[in-house]
Amino acid sequence: MSVQIKGKPEIVTIQWIPKYTLMERIVHWAHTATFIPLLLTGMVLYFPFLQPLAQGEAGIFLRLIHRIAAVFFGLVPILYAIIQPRRFIMNIRDFLPEKEDIGWLKGAIPYYLFGRHEAMPPQGRFNAGEKLNGLVMIIAWVVFGITGLIMWFGKGVVSPIIFRWAVLFHDLAMIASACMFLIHLYLAVAHPLMWAALVSMRFGVTSADYAAEHHAKWFYGPKRAMEIWEAKKREAAHKGGH
Amino acid sequence: MAKILVVDDDPDFVKLTQRILKTKGYEVITAASGQEALRVMRKEKPDLVLLDIMMSYILDGIDVSREMAQDPELKDIPVIMVTSLTGARAQGIAPSGEYVPVDEWIHKPIDPDQLLARIEEALKKK
């Protein structure tokens, strides 16, 4: 996409589009940096075959790491909400599911596994998979916060039943967020269609070509993105017919 | 004094630009999206438009300038793109209707002196 500067033989071609603000990137990486030690130390405490590592002084050390990381993990979104409340609310809204996300679910396997681009309806700034990841992480953050505080400070204070429920929900949140994290990591680091997402989380920008292809609703606007997608589907059907 | 329409979805940027423009006595009107900008333009007939590109969607501002270029009532209003998108400048002449004509392209964050100079230049050309 280019614009012509009137009265001059000069063209400006759009190349890079800001996708993440500096604060969004700091929050993302700070959350990652605290989530990984939480996950690793949590797994040692969770899996029976790793429990020998959680005994004695090593166990005390692991619990300390887990708690320190948990404090930072909990604080990062709170600080973000205090420093940039408008952006924080906008991000939460970005992750809320929409009716159109069903199209992403239907198109995900043909698109990601077989590279059939016409199977994927146009996506916004975040595709439905990224939204799902964000939503799971937000819910997990709330569950970790409540249950973690009960497990840390509630022993002998809350009833044993509440304590056991807290442990169960803490474990469930860990399983859900760990699965999401692994999928997210694979797509961001290894998947050939999605590697540019990692670049944009590193540098804050995405190329115009990538945005047009992977975030067409955000790039062209909903109406034009749908027209382009319909044309793409017709072309694919025409090719398939021959 | 000239009437300038500032189109941007970032209220902080609009406030800052308003303050800069008022130092030179310009009358400032605002819009927060492409659709709103076109409505305001048709009603208020501004002398110049400062247009962000990325608003409701990335090409929102481009679509506004394209629609302006096709509307006899709006096509002569100078447009200065003020954007955080990175564009590569190259020498050349647009060969087809794919290209959208604008008067100037300024990167954010803006330099107030540069902005005022470009506005003056564009208003003189009008």
Percentage of the residues of chain A whose pLDDT score is greater than 90: 56
Judge: A12–B53 Cβ closer than 8 Å, yes or no. Answer: no
Helix (H) or strand (E) holding B28: strand B27-31
Q: Please check whether residue A132 is in contact with residue A119, taking contact to mean a CB–CB distance below 8 angstroms.
A: no
Number of domains composing chain A: 1
Contact pairs from chain A to chain B, CB under 8 Å: 88
Nearest Cα neighbor of B106 from B124, B75, B84 is B84
Shortest Cα distance, chain A CAs vs residue B77, angstroms: 12
Q: Is B25 left (phi over 0), alpha (psi -120 to 50) or beta?
A: left
Give A220's contacts in chain B (Cβ within 8 Å): 57-59
Nearest Cα neighbor of B85 from B118, B108, B64 is B108
Judge: B58–A17 Cβ closer than 8 Å, yes or no. Answer: yes
| CATH number of the domain to which B44 belongs | 3.40.50.2300
Between B70 and B87, the more confident residue is B70
Tell me the average pLDDT across A236-240: 78
Is there a domain that residue B92 lies in?
no
Q: What is the pLDDT of residue B92?
A: 65
Who's near B12: CB < 8 A, 6+ residues apart? none
Q: Is B6 helix (H, G, I), strand (E, B) or coil?
A: strand
Is there a domain that residue B25 lies in?
yes
Interface with chain A: mutation pick from B14, B15, B35, B59, highest number of A CBs within 10 Å: B59
Using one digit for the tens of pLDDT, what is the confidence trace for B4-38? 999 999 999 999 999 999 999 999 999 999 999 99
Radius of gyration of chain B (CA): 14
Q: What is the pLDDT of residue A5?
A: 79
Pairwise CA distance, residues A135 & B60, whole Å: 28
**Number of H-type helices and E-type strands within chain A:** 10, 3
What are the DSSP calls for A31-96, one per residue? HHHHHHHHHHHHHHHH-GGGGGGGSHHHHHHHHHHHHHHHHHHHHHHHHHHHH-HHHHHHHHHHHS
Query: Which domain range does residue A130 map to?
Result: 2-241
Place of tokens 């992480």: A137
Pairwise CA distance, residues B37 & A74, whole Å: 41
Q: Which of B54, B58, B102 sits opposite A3 (nearest CB)?
A: B102
Number of domains composing chain B: 1
Pairwise CA distance, residues A104 & A193, whole Å: 15
Tell me the average pLDDT across A57-61: 90
Judge: A221–B59 Cβ closer than 8 Å, yes or no. Answer: yes
pTM here is 0.83
**Residue A6: which pLDDT band, with cuts at 50, 70 and 90?**
confident
Q: Which of A15, A17, A221 sits opposite B60 (nearest CB)?
A: A221
Percentage of the residues of chain B whose pLDDT score is greater than 90: 66
Q: Please check whether residue B4 is in contact with residue B47, taking contact to mean a CB–CB distance below 8 angstroms.
A: yes
Chain A window 173-232: which residues touch B at a Cβ cutoff of 8 Å? Answer: 205, 208, 211, 217-222, 224
Determine the residue type at A37. Answer: P
Q: What is the pLDDT of residue A7?
A: 74
Interface with chain B: mutation pick from A8, A14, A209, A215, highest number of B CBs within 10 Å: A14
Judge: A18–B84 Cβ closer than 8 Å, yes or no. Answer: yes
Using one digit for the tens of pLDDT, what is the confidence trace for A120-151? 899 999 988 889 999 999 999 999 999 999 99
Kindly state the greatest CA–CA separation across chain A: 78
Helix axes A160-189, A22-46, angle to 10 degrees: 120
A85 and chain B: CB distance < 8 Å anywhere?
A: no
Q: Which of A5, A208, A211 sits opposite B102 (nearest CB)?
A: A5
Q: What is the pLDDT of residue B85?
A: 85
Q: What is the pLDDT of residue B97?
A: 57
Query: Which domain range does residue B82 map to?
Result: 3-87+97-125
- Terminal alpha carbon distance of chain B: 14
Q: Is A221 helix (H, G, I), strand (E, B) or coil?
A: coil
Q: Could you tell me whether strands A10-18 and A2-5 are parallel, antiparallel, or unpaired per DSSP bridges?
A: antiparallel
| CATH number of the domain to which A67 belongs | 1.20.950.20
Give B91's contacts in chain A (Cβ within 8 Å): 9-11
Give A223's contacts in chain B (Cβ within 8 Å): none
Using one digit for the tens of pLDDT, what is the confidence trace for B78-120? 999 998 888 777 776 655 556 777 888 898 888 999 999 999 9
